[in-house]
Amino acid sequence: MAASPLVRFAPSPTGFLHIGNARPALLNALFARRAGGRFLLRLDDTDRERSTQEFATAVAEDLGWLGIEPDLFFRQSDRTALYDTAAERLKAAGRLYPCYETPEELDRRRKRQLGRGLPPIYDRAALALTEAERATFEAEGRQPHWRFKLDHRVVAWNDLVRGESHVDCASLSDPVLVRADGSYLYTLPSVVDDAEVGVTHVIRGEDHVTNTGVQVQLFEALAAAVPAFGHHNLLTTADGEGLSKRLGHLSLRSLREAGYEPAAVRSLAVLTGSAEAVRPIASLDELASLVDLAHLSRAPARFDPAELDGMNARLVHDMPLDDVRERLAALGVPAEAAEPFWLAVRANLGRVSDAAAWWQVVNGPVTPVIAEPDFIAKAARLLPEAPFGPGTWKAWTDAVKAETGAKGKALFMPLRLALTGLDHGPDLAALLPLIGRERAARRLAGEAA
């Protein structure tokens, strides 16, 4: 029987995750959930200068907010011995070779190639160096960086998203796998880790398609099983701009702090650019059932914050009290008022945090707007006695209508302005019992209450 799938999300802890990172993280986690597989979180922290514990902690927190709980976790900085062993194997096989060019020399060489109409790929000059020439460079203080010698052939695979795909590796530079300071770039640790833990499916953005040609050759050079690859379309801004960690307002952390629901964020991140209609899906299992990599669009998936607002509001409007009880308590809503208050206001909310403003309307103080003093004075005399209940608003407005002849907007708007200080809001039939008779009477008298 085939082993269950193992997928991975492998961010670098060099900044906060953004909405664009949420897409591959979710596509991997939901793929594993649907197939009964496992999800690995791997921190690609080989960049010693930029990787920080703050960002590493934030990655786990942000994924947890999205509802992603890894089955496995490790960080590459703890696994250097594995990469050293692999590098030595590649050196012994003649596939990893030392190069001594400085960045400035490489840049000049690329410019000369472009000037001659040639592709700016590495010319493998280092392979022609003699032992004496290498010794001279090292005597000058140069330490080599190490390149992987590619076979100049076409690497083909059946992509989970794009179908039959290929990369002509003859068009690529031999990639640098090891820096001059001995640290590793992305490619070697990634392949070694995938091979060592048995990753079966690599699902990532289409900006990695070219990398796949290199990585397939590296898997083969290490005599490791080659996983299946799927390259999905990228999430962009509404204007088509690429997302990056520099766009702080679209970080998962900032979206969470702004009061968005994780279900809204993950639904938009996954369903945008798919064959499915973009809509809020509260259940992770249901969202997983909708993920079909083969049906993702090839066009960029545009993330529109306005669409997120709409999806978030739709989720909030349907939320049961149990989902928000603790958050209402944190806003100061007492337990005994939570249910009637939530049912009264949720249809008017874009985010749960917006309920704070309506609790202020209920609990005061509110500065009433007395637009028609004579009308409000008559309404105040007709205000029913306590206690207020579900039928109080209708009984009262029926009495005011009979007394004044006002109806429709002329009847309801002056009362709303006096009771709430606003010209919009939840149904007053539900809100009035929460305001209560004493506070309502004071507001009708023009008092801030």
- List the CATH number of the domain containing 109: 3.90.800.10
Count Cβ atoms below 10 Å from residue 137 Cβ, excluding itself: 18
Q: What is the pTM of this model?
A: 0.90
Q: Is residue 368 part of a domain?
A: no
What is the rounded CA–CA span in Å between residue 429 and residue 443?
A: 17
Both 234 and 170 in a single domain? no
The contacts of residue 332 (CB under 8 Å, 6+ apart) are: 356, 359, 363
Residue 150 predicted with pLDDT over 70:
yes
| Of the residues 253, 288, 318, the one at which a domain ends | 318
Both 155 and 215 in a single domain? no
pLDDT of residue 149: 98
Cα dihedral angle (170, 173, 177, 178), rounded to 10 degrees?
Answer: 140
The total of structural domains in the chain comes to: 4
Q: Is residue 401 part of a domain?
A: yes
Average pLDDT taken over every residue of the chain:
95
Q: Is residue 292 part of a domain?
A: yes
Confidence of residue 305 (pLDDT cuts 50, 70, 90): confident
> Under a CB-based contact definition with an 8 Å cutoff, are residues 41 and 63 in contact?
yes
Both 10 and 142 in a single domain? no
Both 71 and 215 in a single domain? yes
Strand 6-9, strand 38-43: pairing: parallel
Confidence of residue 423 (pLDDT cuts 50, 70, 90): very high
pLDDT of residue 275: 85
Both 152 and 200 in a single domain? no
Both 336 and 418 in a single domain? no
Q: How many Å separate Cα 66 from the centre of its chain?
A: 8
Q: Is residue 449 part of a domain?
A: no
Q: What is the full DSSP assignment across 98-109?
A: EE---HHHHHHH
pLDDT of residue 239: 78
What is the rounded CA–CA span in Å between residue 33 and residue 55?
A: 26
Both 255 and 265 in a single domain? yes
Q: Domain with 414 in it: what CATH number?
A: 1.10.10.350
Residue range 343-367: average pLDDT?
Answer: 97
Both 244 and 271 in a single domain? yes
pLDDT of residue 245: 58
pLDDT of residue 2: 56
| Of the residues 141, 158, 178, the one at which a domain ends | 178
Both 389 and 268 in a single domain? no
Q: Is residue 117 part of a domain?
A: yes
Q: Is residue 338 part of a domain?
A: yes
Range of the domain at 135: 95-178
Both 230 and 379 in a single domain? no
**Which pLDDT tens digit goes with each residue over 386-398?**
999 999 999 999 9
Both 195 and 272 in a single domain? yes
Q: Is residue 118 part of a domain?
A: yes
Q: Is residue 351 part of a domain?
A: yes
Q: Domain with 271 in it: what CATH number?
A: 3.40.50.620
pLDDT of residue 142: 94
**Which pLDDT tens digit goes with each residue over 209-251?**
999 999 999 999 999 999 999 999 998 887 777 776 555 668 9
Residue 1 predicted with pLDDT over 50:
no
Residue 193 predicted with pLDDT over 60:
yes
Angle, helices 335-345 vs 428-435, to 10°: value is 160
**Residue (of 266, 271, 264, 311) closest to 295 by Cα position:** 271
The contacts of residue 342 (CB under 8 Å, 6+ apart) are: 321, 324, 328, 355
> 205-219, 298-312, 343-357: which has the minimum mean pLDDT?
298-312
pLDDT of residue 190: 97
- Phi, psi dihedral angles at 128 (to 5 degrees): -90, -5
Residue 8 predicted with pLDDT over 60:
yes
pLDDT of residue 247: 57
Both 281 and 404 in a single domain? no
Partnered with residue 228 across adjacent β-strands are 201
| Of the residues 150, 178, 206, the one at which a domain ends | 178
> 64-68, 245-249, 349-353: which has the minimum mean pLDDT?
245-249
pLDDT of residue 302: 87
Q: What is the full DSSP assignment across 352-385?
A: GGGHHHHHHHHHS------S-HHHHHHHHHTPPP
**pLDDT over 70, % of the chain:** 98
